[in-house]
Structure 1
Amino acid sequence: MRHTTPADEHGQAAVSVQGVHKQFGDLVAVKDLDIDIRAGEFFSMLGPSGSGKTTVLRMIAGFEEPTSGRILLHGQDVTASAPFDREVNTVFQDYALFPHLTIAENVAYGLTVRGISKAERARLVGEALEQVQLSHVAERRPSQLSGGQRQRIALARALILRPKVLLLDEPLGALDKQLREQMQFELKQIQREVGITFVFVTHDQEEALTLSDRVAVFNNGRIEQVGSPREVYEFPQTEFVARFLGITNLLAGDAALAILGESSPHSVRPERVQIADPAAPATDGTISLSGRVLETVYAGAHTRYLVETESGMRFISEKQNNQSPRTDPVQRGDTVSLRFERSHAVAVPGTAVAAPGEPAAV
């Protein structure tokens, strides 16, 4: 299946991966992959370790050559081209800054190699550092900067060469949570300003949803689904996507038939499942299930509840902590009513029906 997308002004995708297969000995890392990425898009490749996403990035960069298939950049076949002959640049997780050079010298390195004049280098470096808001550290060494600052310098060094495509291999993975979230906003803002195609590899679901125009979800060397963050989260097309992108209650087989009136698999996200007083009447179109709270998990912005229904199915419910009580009114052991709108149970077409005896909800 080819995952196509609107082309650029010349009728071409910025990156086109056509029938690409990559094998390392007996290991098949990527299986007959087809995908187009448009110019100016922030495109994320999301998946667990070993799913093939980094191998695809390395093939686009030229660090690996496909076993078969083609890679085109803006319509030009670069499958056999060396990395330095491609109009791409790569930002790595480990920053790869030269410790003996100043920040300004690090950012200017690519320009120096290309023989750009000293005066022009100084002007471009100044603009690049201004763009990442680090002009004041130009004369420092990398060891004198924080992790977030080093990552921004690595980004400035990559962008100063104005590549047509910027490849980012888990660039925020080494940062702590707070700094990573801050850098997500900065990275997206920079991408919008420069208008360059970003191809971003991550295993962090929240990061992919936050940053991307579109997300490709990888599994076992294949793409399970491509779409906007909203599409892949709200309308997963396979069980893997439903489970990998957050938490879901997956209903299938007899459980789906009993609750929804049809046996085909459906996904209900925990935030769609509300906990109510069993005595309160349910509105039309609402599915109501009686159950007992097995566990509660307080996670700051939200609280999750594991509830077992009278028929033995287990559901996860999640509520935002948008009020400030000192104690949660719902406690472990409470008898509650689980409620969700029938329309919030989304069909998952690429999921096999659960066999008898398998868990109906997760």
Structure 2
Amino acid sequence: MPHTTSAAPAGERAAGTDGDIAVSVQGVHKQFGDLVAVKDLDIDIRAGEFFSMLGPSGSGKTTVLRMIAGFEEPTAGRILLHGEDVTRSAPFDRPVNTVFQDYALFPHLSIAENVAYGLKVRGVSKTERARLVSEALEQVRLGHVAERRPSQLSGGQRQRIALARALILRPQVLLLDEPLGALDKQLREQMQFELKQIQRDVGITFVFVTHDQEEALTLSDRVAVFNDGRIEQVGSPREVYEFPRTEFVARFLGITNLLSGETARALLGDAAPHSVRPERVQLAAPGAPSADGAVSLAGRVLETVYAGAHTRYLVETEIGVRFISEQQNAHTPHTAPSVQRGDAVSLRFARDHVVAVPAAAG
């Protein structure tokens, strides 16, 4: 039978004592006029973890981040930071700092002056400011640009400067609102690794908002998947990808083949929804033997999509159901792919590569 998930239910609180929890969002509801942006949300974020809030535009993730920061006030519920109720506290009275997508650097100040700005406002001495700024810039490996202006830096460098400016104040929690969204793909991927390394080095709780599924999986210790003002699922990147608890999570986190109803009953013996990821669906020559117990279907390739490291195949099967298969491009660069559009194929997947998708949350 297909494997079933034991991942934690949506909205379940993190294990541990209150002292282990950096951010606790308890029964939070947010309404703008007739629009309900966040619906009775409960989530605990552990101290020192990289926690991502992932979801499409309008799903409520940025509103939650703004309420944690103090830029928005909940309509109902409360927010605790390390056990202290800050629901009605002003942003400057909270032990948090925020990095925005546009970085918000002062164009007329040098990089060193930008990083030192918060310390200056707090009245830190000039000598101590200089020492801390030097340490912060070295931490993001940009000590050599201290005297430049923001306009003289690349997008990735400006992102790291914004990060240094936020971290120099040693917040208990760092909030990041899609800080990599303005970068091109190559630079964004490079910055993902750097951001994760910095978080591990400083040990501060990072709460990261993104709509990029790959980014959330790459960076996070845990991911909360948002949809329509609610959390559909919380778990490690592996849990939410391998064991989606709702059809929305299965579809939103990458590509999936979702089987339900009579199709699922015919192939799996169970009409409930099931998910099998494209990389688990193999293609072979028609009539080729398959492993005992594997689901095997004859089909024809309707379309191929070359994506560099892998190729996706859209296959119309003999039962009228279309499957997506994703194969690594293991052939040599001078060899044509063995499967082409229009080819007859045998499509198969192991039953233990299929996971049941529980009923939708809420």
- Normalized against structure 2, the TM-score is what? 0.95
Q: Tell me, yes or no, if structure 1 residue 342 matches structure 2 residue 351.
A: yes
8 A contact 2:225–2:231 mirrored in 1:
yes
Where 1:14 maps in the other structure, the secondary structure is strand
Query: What are the superposed Cα offsets for residues 80-107 of structure 1, whole Å, 9 maximum, x if unpaired?
Result: 0000000000000000000000000000
Q: What does residue 7 of structure 2 align with?
A: none
Q: What does residue 360 of structure 1 align with?
A: none
Deviation at 1:322, TM superposition (A): 2.4
Percent identity, aligned pairs only?
A: 83
Answer 1 or 2: higher relative contact order, Cα 8 Å, separation at least 6: 2
Cα distance in 1 for partners of 2:235, 2:313 equals: 30
Q: What does residue 158 of structure 1 align with?
A: 166
Cα distance in 2 for partners of 1:30, 1:337 equals: 46
The aligned runs of 1:204-243 (5 Å cut-off) are 204-243=212-251
Cα distance in 2 for partners of 1:351, 1:312 equals: 26
Q: What does residue 71 of structure 1 align with?
A: 79
Query: What are the superposed Cα offsets for residues 303-335 of structure 1, whole Å, 9 maximum, x if unpaired?
Result: 000000111100000011123253111011111
8 A contact 1:286–1:341 mirrored in 2:
yes
Runs of 4+ in 1 over 3 A off after TM superposition: none
Where 2:218 maps in the other structure, the secondary structure is helix
Q: What does residue 195 of structure 1 align with?
A: 203
Cα distance in 2 for partners of 1:170, 1:7 equals: 28
Q: What does residue 333 of structure 1 align with?
A: 342
The aligned runs of 1:130-169 (5 Å cut-off) are 130-169=138-177
Count residues in correspondence: 351
Where 1:316 maps in the other structure, the secondary structure is strand
Cα distance in 2 for partners of 1:54, 1:161 equals: 23
Letter in 2 for 1:122: A
Where 2:97 maps in the other structure, the secondary structure is strand
Q: What does residue 19 of structure 1 align with?
A: 27
Q: What does residue 123 of structure 1 align with?
A: 131
Q: Tell me, yes or no, if structure 1 residue 182 matches structure 2 residue 182.
A: no
Cα distance in 2 for partners of 1:351, 1:139 equals: 54
8 A contact 2:11–2:232 mirrored in 1:
no
Query: What are the superposed Cα offsets for residues 162-185 of structure 1, whole Å, 9 maximum, x if unpaired?
Result: 000000000000000000000000
The aligned runs of 1:89-100 (5 Å cut-off) are 89-100=97-108
Deviation at 1:350, TM superposition (A): 2.0
Where 2:92 maps in the other structure, the secondary structure is helix
Letter in 2 for 1:82: A
Q: Tell me, yes or no, if structure 1 residue 29 matches structure 2 residue 37.
A: yes
Deviation at 1:285, TM superposition (A): 2.2
Letter in 1 for 2:358: P
Structure 1: runs of 5+ lacking an equivalent: 353-362
Cα distance in 1 for partners of 2:330, 2:123 equals: 57
Cα distance in 1 for partners of 2:202, 2:15 equals: 19
8 A contact 1:17–1:34 mirrored in 2:
yes
Q: What does residue 355 of structure 1 align with?
A: none
The aligned runs of 1:233-272 (5 Å cut-off) are 233-272=241-280
Letter in 2 for 1:318: E
Cα distance in 1 for partners of 2:188, 2:305 equals: 24
- Normalized against structure 1, the TM-score is what? 0.95
Cα distance in 1 for partners of 2:115, 2:254 equals: 37
8 A contact 1:233–1:242 mirrored in 2:
yes
Letter in 2 for 1:350: A
8 A contact 2:279–2:326 mirrored in 1:
yes
Cα distance in 2 for partners of 1:272, 1:182 equals: 28
Deviation at 1:11, TM superposition (A): 2.8
